[in-house]
Every structure is written in C-alpha cells, then in structure tokens.
Structure 1
Amino acid sequence: MGTSAPAFRELGYWLFRYRRTWRGSIVISVANPLFFLTALGLGLGKLVDRDGALHGESYLRFILPGMLVAAVMQTAFLEAAGPVLQSVRQRGNYRAAAATPLSPEDILYGHLMFWALRAVQNAVLFTGVSVVFGAVDPARAPLLVPIALLVAVAFATPAAAWSVTVTRPSQISAVFRFAVLPLYMFSGTFFPVEQLPSWLRPLAWATPLWHGVDLGRAVALGTATPFRALVHVGYLTAMAVAGLLVARRNYRRTLHV
C-alpha cells in the first residue's frame, strides 16, 4: 500500500494517545473472553453438550473462534468509526495533521496500522485466555491471530471510508445497532448457520463475518480445506482492498487542504 515514513508519524501519534488507555483496554481484552467463555462455554455449554447438537464437539471449542472473530470485527468497526469521525469533526486532529506535510493517504495508513496493532493485541490476548481454558489447541491458536487481523482490516477499511464522510455520531450508532450487532448474532458466532430458516441461510453465508467465523472455526477445529479457506481469504481480502481504495478517495476529498 506504499506506506511511507510520514505514515509512521501518524501511527506514532495514535500510539502516544494509547499510552493513557492501554491498561484498561488490556483488562477488557482479557476480561471479555474470560466472562464469555465462563458463561457460554462452561455454563450454557454443558446443556448444549448434553444435547449432542454439535456431533461430539464441545460447545466451548465451537464458539471460541466465532467469539474471537466477532469481537475483533466489533472492535475494528468501533475503532475505525468513532475516532475517525471525531478526528475529522470534534477534535480536528485529522485536519491538523493534513495541514502538515502528511498527505491524506499518510493519515489513513498510519491510523490503519494502529487498528491492525490493536487487532493483533486483542487476538493474542483472546487466544491466550482460550488456551488456558482448553478451548483451542495450543498448536492451532497462533493461526487464529492472522485470521483475526484479516477480519479486522476487512471491516476497518470500509468503516473508515464511510465514517470520514459522516457528520453526526447518531449515524454511527445506527449502523452499529442495525448492521454490526445483527452480524454478531446471526453469522454463525453462537450456533451453526444451518439452524437458521432456509430462506435466511444464503443471506448469512453472504456476510463477511460468516466467512471470518467459518474460517477461524475450521482452522481451530482442524477441519479446514484448501478450497474453502481460499474462498474465505479471497472474500475478506477483496473487501479489505475495496475498502482501502474507497477510503483513500474519501480521505483525499475530505482532508484536502
């Protein structure tokens, strides 16, 4: 993507800001999987395992990859939507940066690198807690980190491309409520998509989060096939590239001074 040294200056700005909040974010990154795995995996999971609905696979191992990918998706959207809006409007730090030798692309790439680092951080902490719980094979756990990173970039770039043009926070709240949360609930995160009504399954299979969840689950459970994995990676990569191209155009239009 042609990242230049100025883009690392923008990354340095976000890392400098992050120095004040990193402790709280790490606590949340550890506490969230801990609570979810305890409640859903060890609590509800006992009832699901007793029913045998997953054909011998424990519910804890089933939901772990979906929860990881869904959590990374949610964080990527929130990190790339609210802060971008604030940087353009209320705080104005994007416009301040654009008044320097930094180009709009530098600003985008620097912020994108920060989102990627946050995604890797969350994925590493999440999988670490999961390994302790026995929810994923330690040999396969590292493979979930690049999958989480791909999902994060696939959602962060379109979110940034859109939010740099947004004028009201209520717009972001509406998209989160009516798009992100339904994806979280109905893309195979907590139950197989095959349990949805037949007319709704194709819609679920077409969602980007399902591709990330299915890829992560197949890798974690050791059931991945080369063709299916290639389809998932190709879908998410295309989404990330398209989002990046649109984001570059919108950043140039919005931040051109």
Structure 2
Amino acid sequence: MASSRYIKKSLRRDQVHQIQYIYDLIRELVGRDIKLQYKRSMLGIAWSFVTPLMQLVVYYFIFRLVLSLDIPNYAAFAFSGMLVWTWFQASLFRGASSITDGRELIRQPGFPVAILPIVAVTTNLVNFLLSLPILLLFLGNEGGWLKPAFALLPILILIQFLLTLSLTYLVAAINVTFRDTQHILGVLLNLVFYLTPIFYDTDTIPAQYLQAFHLNPMTYLIEAYRTVLLEGALPGLLPLLFLALMSLGLLFGTYRIFRRASYRFAEEL
C-alpha cells in the first residue's frame, strides 16, 4: 500500500512538472514571437493598435461621413468589431504556418508540437488585450463607462480563444501537406470579413439574408462583445452557451485530427 501511494504521488508530481514545463514553454515562445514581430520597429508593440486605428479612420470616413450609417457611438462600434476580428484573423493566418515555420523545434525529440498553434493564438491575444484600453478610451469619450456586465468579458475572450484555437489546429495540420492552404485561407478570410458585421450593424441586413449571416459564429461573438462593452448589458446567454459548447466540441475534433497528422510532420517538413 505504501508503495502504491508513493507511485501515485510520483505520478502527480510528474504531471505537475509537465504542466509547468508546458506553461513556461508557451510563455517563452509567445514572448519570443512578440519580440520578433516588432524587432527593429520604431513604434514596436504600438503597431498592435495603430493598424486598427488607421482602419477605423477609413471606415469612419466612409460609413459615418459618406454613407452616413445611423449607428450611435460609431467609433467604438467599429473599433470593437475590428479588434475582435483582427485577433481571429491574425491567429488563423499565423497559426496556419506555425508548424512549417517551426520545423527546427519540431525536429527536437520530445518537443510538444501541439503548443505551436496555442502560441500563435496567444500571441495575438496579447495584442488584443493591449488594444483594449484604446477601445475603453473611445467608450469614455462617447459616454460609455465600466458597468457590471463588463465582468462577462473574460468569458467572451475564453470562448473566442477556444473557437480560434480549434480552427487553427485544423488549418495548421492541413498546411503541412497542402502548402496552398495559407493562401486560400487569406482569400477566405477577406471574404468572411465583409460577411461579418464589423463596420455595419446586423439591423441593416435584409431579413431574408439575416439567418445566413448568423451561421457565422463571429457574428454572435462580435454582437456579444458590443452588447457587453457598448450597451453594458448581458448578451443572449443561450446562443453564447451554444457557441461555447460548439467551440469545445470543435476543438476536441480538430485536436484529434492535428494529433494524428503530427506523427508525419517531421517527415513532411
């Protein structure tokens, strides 16, 4: 009995050490990617919110001044959508090449290949979090204040993380065999960008097309972010719960696909 308890304790210690190792490795790789991303850049990490701000200026001019969409607090409305979309898009695009770009790491014995897509999504999560204060400035400037509903923001971020990671596992695995995946993904993301309510409101979509727009999970996420941040209210909890469960199920499936494909990565790279 004493021997059995000792073995169980040893196994638990090994598991704790393994989790700590994975955590430290992800932290180091995320830090490395952020440094490389802005290496020799004058603005450095400020580019994480300068780019969305520049896009906002263009969209504000077109959809507020030229086309004159009747959307209150349009600057915060558009900027919130762009931040959410930029995290999603950049993670998928970077994650698609995470395996092919990490061939030196993958060839090292015992390296946990599955963390590379996690690193891609987490790196862009850091950029997203760094840009959030800019959005809060827009909210304050246009009359919005922190409200109790803001406590739901971490849950929305977690759901988006799970959804994005699940798709990243899929495209990362496919891109190892079919190198055109990243180029096709770029085209698809550009198309989906215009089919996602980033710079326009779903209320402006004709009723016969609205259901098709809601097949896009990013539509639910962006609307939930805006409900929390711009309105200070709780989003629909049932659609959010469905999206969370769907993201978990999708992550389970795509991770299994990734794991099966990972045994051939070293050979195909």
- Could you tell me the TM-score, scaled by structure 2's length? 0.73
Given that residues 67 and 189 in structure 1 are in contact (C-alpha distance below 8 angstroms), is that contact kept between their aligned partners in structure 2? yes
Tell me if 1:16 matches 2:35. no
Structure 1: state its 5+ residue gaps: none
Rounded Cα–Cα distance in structure 2 between residues aligned with 1:142 and 1:176: 34
Runs of 5+ in structure 2 lacking a partner? 1-15
Which of 1 and 2 has higher RCO (CA within 8 Å, sep 6+)? 1
Q: Which amino acid aligns with 1:121?
A: V
Tell me the CA shift for residue 193 of structure 1: 3.1
Matching residue of 1:75:
90
Task: State yes or no: 1:128 paired with 2:145.
Answer: no
Change (3 A) 1:118 1:143: farther
d(CA) in 2 for partners of 1:143, 1:120: 17
Indicate which of 201, 213, 218 corresponds to 2:210: 201
The answer to whether structure 1 residue 222 and structure 2 residue 247 are counterparts is no
Corresponding residue for residue 157 of structure 1: 166
Q: Which amino acid aligns with 1:79?
A: R
Matched, 1:171 2:181: yes
Q: What do residues 28-82 of structure 1 show as CA deviations (whole Å, max 9, x unaligned)? A: 212023223333347743566x663x4xx32223323321211111111112112
> Number of matched residues?
241
Q: Please, which moves more after superposition, 159-168 or 216-225?
A: 159-168
Identity value in percent? 12
12-21 vs 136-145, which moves further: 136-145
Partner residue of 2:75 out of 60, 71, 75: 60
C-alpha separation between the residues in 2 aligned to 1:164 and 1:76? 14
Tell me the distance in 2 between the aligned counterparts of 1:200 and 1:250.
37
Is structure 2 residue 22 aligned with structure 1 residue 7? yes
Distance 1:191-1:240 versus aligned 2 partners, 3 A rule: farther
The Cα shift of 1:255 comes to: 4.6
Corresponding residue for residue 26 of structure 1: 45
| RMSD, aligned CA | 3.3
SS of equivalent residue, structure 1 residue 86:
coil
Instruction: Give the C-alpha shift of residue 13 in structure 1.
Output: 4.3
Give the match's secondary structure for 2:113. Answer: helix
| Contact kept in structure 2, 1:72 and 1:148, CA below 8 Å | no
**1:20 to 1:149, Cα distance in 2 relative to 1, 3 A:** same
2:194 aligns with 185
**Counterpart amino acid of residue 245 in structure 1:** R
1:84 to 93, 99, 122: 99
